[in-house]
């Protein structure tokens, strides 16, 4: 495909770069991070008592800092194509402070952010089959979307990619060709058979786009990794969201794809399961003053299918900067999610 004059942001794959996990495991990075955390907390009159790495993944690292005030803080750095999370969190903290984790400090250029501990994540406080808790998660997440209405420019300025519903068919066509054109042996490569099947799916994808265009909801923030380990259940009963490194601006109803997909596997549920419908309805209710609930339910399967594109895109961002060993382990995630467009909708 000749993309030399193509102005579409997805006309090329995310730019490759070195795997940051090697640097994150080094003593030099530990010293660099300690200096930054000390500077941020020092401005608040707090000293760093201890700093330890608690998570090292190919796409991010998380460290726990103990302050002289007795508070634990969490420092995180993302890989190059997801480092926008720092600036996004700062924007969210200003736009909807009750629904996101508060921010102590960021370095947007380096993709660093520091936040105070918020207690237990939701998964530690609920039963695995607590449908009502999941109803609360999706309702709060979509309420956050409503809080951000009119703030799209601010979110884009923070670095969030806009995956417009109207571009979905074109996005699928371009990404299919790009992944199919990768060398044989590249884990990200889409096979010839899978590429042909996705090209044949084009009229169906266009149909989903048209179905969603009919309900005329604006693109909004989609967390794109919404599960119970990315939500804090605070002592005052609020839910606070974090870990927005996979986020995109996309059709708001597509935000239900990840939580429903989790529940499908947890419950071994068919796509007409009443528990799934209950969770979905809790999210749709948030938008029911804009579009009637019956129309939202009718359009939801199309939104859930297109929600798979957000997962494909976040994996493409991540996989651009992996070591060879990491790419061998995770490289097939993006073609998997793109190919999953051919799967049955999670909810009928």
Task: Find residue 61's DSSP bridge partners.
Answer: 56, 77
Residue of 267, 258, 233, 255 lying closest to 303 (CA atoms) = 255
Largest Cα separation within the chain, whole Å, is 61
* 77 neighbors 33 (Cβ within 8 angstroms): yes
Which residues of the chain register pLDDT less than 70?
A: 1-5
Residue 7 is predicted with a pLDDT of 81
Residue of 18, 12, 15 lying closest to 324 (CA atoms) = 18
CB-based burial, 232-267: b 16+ in 10 Å, e otherwise? bbeeeeebbbbbbbbbbbbbbbbbbbbbbbbbbeee
Residue of 63, 1, 9, 5 lying closest to 37 (CA atoms) = 63
Sequence-distant (6+) residues with CB within 8 A of 308 are 257, 337, 338, 340, 341, 343
Sole residue written with tokens 């009919």: 214
* 175 neighbors 306 (Cβ within 8 angstroms): no
Residue 3 is predicted with a pLDDT of 46
| Domains contained in the chain, CATH given | 19-117 (3.30.200.20), 118-348 (3.90.1200.10)
Helix, strand, or coil here: 72? strand
Residue 121 is predicted with a pLDDT of 93
**Tokens in use for 52?**
């330890």
Look up residue 120 and give its DSSP letter.
-
Residue 5 is predicted with a pLDDT of 63
**Tokens in use for 204?**
């169906």
Residue 235 is predicted with a pLDDT of 75
pLDDT in tens, 252-307: 999 999 999 999 999 999 999 999 999 999 999 999 999 999 999 999 999 999 99
Output the CA–CA distances (angstroms, integers) from residue 186 to 12, 157, 183, 332, 335, in the order listed: 16, 33, 6, 9, 11
Q: Radius of gyration (Cα) for the chain, nearest Å?
A: 20
Count of C-beta atoms within a 10 Å radius of residue 229 = 12
CA distance linking residue 284 with residue 299, whole number of Å:
11
Residue 148 is predicted with a pLDDT of 97
CA distance linking residue 170 with residue 212, whole number of Å:
16
Task: Find residue 50's DSSP bridge partners.
Answer: 66
Residue of 150, 143, 273 lying closest to 219 (CA atoms) = 150
**Tokens in use for 207?**
């149909």
């Amino acid at each position: 495909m000749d993309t030399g004059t193509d102005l579409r942001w997805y006309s090329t794959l995310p730019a490759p770069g070195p795997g940051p996990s090697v640097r994150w495991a080094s003593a030099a990075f530990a010293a660099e991070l300690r200096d930054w955390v000390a500077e941020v907390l020092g401005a608040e009159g707090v000293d760093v008592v201890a700093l330890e790495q608690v998570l090292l993944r190919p796409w991010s690292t998380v460290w726990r800092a103990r302050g002289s005030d007795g508070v634990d803080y969490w420092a995180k750095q993302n890989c190059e194509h997801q480092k926008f999370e720092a600036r996004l969190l700062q924007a969210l903290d200003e736009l909807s402070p009750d629904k996101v984790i508060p921010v102590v400090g960021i370095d947007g250029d380096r993709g660093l952010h520091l936040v105070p501990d918020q207690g237990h994540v939701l998964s530690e406080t609920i039963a695995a089959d607590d449908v009502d808790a999941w109803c609360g998660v999706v309702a709060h997440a979509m309420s956050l979307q409503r809080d951000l209405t009119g703030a799209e420019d601010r979110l884009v300025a923070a670095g969030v990619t806009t995956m417009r519903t109207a571009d979905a068919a074109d996005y699928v066509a371009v990404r299919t060709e790009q992944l199919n054109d990768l060398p044989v042996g590249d884990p990200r490569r889409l096979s010839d058979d899978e590429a042909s099947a996705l090209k044949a799916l084009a009229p169906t994808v266009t149909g989903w786009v048209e179905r969603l265009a009919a309900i005329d909801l604006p693109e909004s923030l989609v967390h794109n990794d919404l599960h119970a380990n990315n939500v804090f259940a605070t002592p005052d009963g609020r839910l606070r969201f974090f870990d927005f490194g996979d986020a995109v601006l996309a059709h708001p109803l597509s935000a239900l794809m990840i939580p429903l997909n989790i529940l499908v596997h947890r419950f071994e549920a068919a796509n007409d399961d009443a528990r799934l419908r209950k969770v979905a309805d809790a999210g749709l209710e948030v938008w029911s003053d804009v579009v009637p609930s019956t129309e939202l339910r009718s359009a939801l399967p199309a939104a859930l299918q297109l929600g798979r594109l957000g997962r494909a895109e976040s994996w493409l961002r991540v996989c651009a900067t992996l070591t060879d060993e990491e790419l061998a382990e995770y490289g097939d995630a993006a073609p998997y999610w793109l190919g999953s467009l051919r799967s049955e909708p999670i909810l009928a």
